[in-house]
Amino acid sequence: MKGAELVLQVLQQHGVETIFGYPGGAIMPIYDALYQSTVKHYLCRHEQGGAFSAIGFARASGKVGVCMATSGPGATNLITSLADAMLDSVPVVAITGQVSQAVMGSDAFQEIDVLGLSLAVTKHSFMVRSVEELEATLNQAFAIAKSGRPGPVLVDIPKDVQLAEIDYQPLASNTQKAVSVPTSLANAAKARALIAAAKKPMAYIGGGVHMAGAMPQLQQFLADNPMPSVTTLKAMGSVAKDNTHYMGMLGMHGTQAANLAVQQCDLLICLGARFDDRVTGNLQKFAPHAKVIHVDIDPAEINKVRFADAALLGDMKQILPAISASTNCDEWLAHCATLKQQHGWRYDHPGERIYAPLMLKQLSERMPDNSVVCCDVGQHQMWVAQHMRFSSPRNHLSSGGLGTMGFGLPAAIGAKLARPQDTVITVSGDGSFMMNVQELATIKRFRLPVKIVVVDNQRLGMVKQWQQLFFNERYSETDLSDNPDFVALAAAFAIPGHCITRKDEVEGALEAMFTWPGPYLLHVCIDDKDNVWPLVPPGAANEDMMTEAKA
């Protein structure tokens, strides 16, 4: 068979049934082989959209997402999405076509060094030099993407390798298993002693817990060791909804109660998180009284940002039971419950205009429990994190580390194809929605019943908020008042929709959206003066939050 056919053969061996991409000259042999393949290809309308769809597929399903693009601009359009996958530890295999080796280095048409470009935003990148290397390279790519801390891998395949013939004999082991990281329990006894001695312990939960498949172990750990818990943006949904000690998200736009409690704790148990700057605020003032237990799969994260008094590296499923100890912190639990009560959300917003936090709370209460919500980046993203509740981190897909506008719509496409029986909703801001709006064509072509909520304040909201607070209200290039009619735009793609402007319209509009059997766009107009609170200003400690009352 040809190398191009071999690529699809290996994908099938890895259980790949769904791929996303966009064809072009240098990858045309693979697309020709795809014509008769059982692998289902979904044509996205931009390579970035294709890669984000692969990320959404991977995050919603726990499988490896696969995307393809041609050389030159096709490959460079993948770079942003690969960076997003890298920073959020998402297993993706990206396959790119490359010009034939005979013309490499001659500035041939659509020749670009995608191998070099991708090195900073992937776990590993490959250039396949011969058809004999192809199978082993692809097997290795899947193994690397899944091993340890997951991430994206790029495989660049020259056109001549795709066209080359090979007498294919499957390898004895035709798929390479993910390499497991050895688990060290050397500090388990020290961790147990720290937990037993703590008067004010706090579980700080990151996305690494669910990526490790350790959700049952986490719930058991929190049941056996009752203590308050907080989560990062990526870990939302990790703590059971009925856990009364959960305090919400921490960090720059975390809940007041969560931030205050973390600052007061005497032991911080960091599980699969990395002390990101959006979490810690002023690092020197973050959790100043706390000793630290740090559990992670990635040795590079240990002691990188915050010294760990007890560090445990490896499989979270093994480590959590090993560090379970008796806690005695009833006074602390009562104090944290008081903080939650004192600083709870208020939804009694004056006037008739729609208040986004309340609208999103209503959306959360109405959507089916196993719905997947895909966010873009900005004020709406933080409101979703603050005011919606999720039963699993796989149900809340948000661009965390890179903060990529344009993530939500294509990620929702991937999530819907990964979980066709579940409701998939994308919540986008008017600025972010326009970043990959062309993917409405993908939704139309494949009749994907994705529900789209566009929260529109006719501003680049988060940037505008910072300009208001920290740049003397100099609103440079954040006015989006010339937005298109989003309902009419959706209608051009045969997607019905509705626009609402008053809070008394919200319930009926949500009912109409969920009742409609196909894709639907709900255009929600809000006041451009509404901001996200609380906010930890740059350089401040997390307890020094700005609130609406202080602003």
Q: Would you name the residues annotated as active-site residues?
A: 47, 109-110, 159, 462
**Paired tokens of 84:** 């997003």
CB 156 within 8 A of CB 75: yes
**Paired tokens of 31:** 């697309």
How much of the chain is helix, strand and coil, in % rounded to 5?
A: 40, 15, 40
Taking alpha carbons only, the member of 307, 309, 325, 319 closest to residue 209 is 319
CB neighbour burial string for 450-465, b if at least 16 within 10 angstroms, e if fewer: bbbbbbbbbbbbbbbb
CB 533 within 8 A of CB 547: yes
CB 7 within 8 A of CB 162: yes
- What phi and psi, each to the nearest 5 degrees, are found at residue 395? -100, 0
- What phi and psi, each to the nearest 5 degrees, are found at residue 424? -125, 130
What's the CA gap between 3 and 1, in Å, rounded? 7
CB 74 within 8 A of CB 97: yes
Taking each helix axis from N to C terminus, what angle separates 356-366 and 506-515, rounded to the nearest 10 degrees? 40
**Paired tokens of 442:** 């993908």
Peptide bond into 357 cis (omega under 30): no
First to last CA, the chain: 67
Instruction: Indicate the SS3 state at residue 41.
Output: strand
CB 59 within 8 A of CB 408: no
> Is the alpha carbon torsion for 412, 413, 416, 417 positive or negative?
negative
What's the CA gap between 174 and 498, in Å, rounded? 51
What's the CA gap between 119 and 250, in Å, rounded? 32
In this structure, what DSSP letter does residue 120 have? G
H or E segment at 132? helix 131-146
**Paired tokens of 198:** 């703590």
CB 292 within 8 A of CB 307: yes
What's the CA gap between 452 and 65, in Å, rounded? 22
H or E segment at 522? strand 520-525
Total length of the chain = 551
What's the CA gap between 349 and 502, in Å, rounded? 12
Phi and psi based region of residue 406 (left: phi greater than 0; alpha: psi -120 to 50; beta: remaining): left
Contacts for 341 with CB less than 8 Å, ≥ 6 apart: none
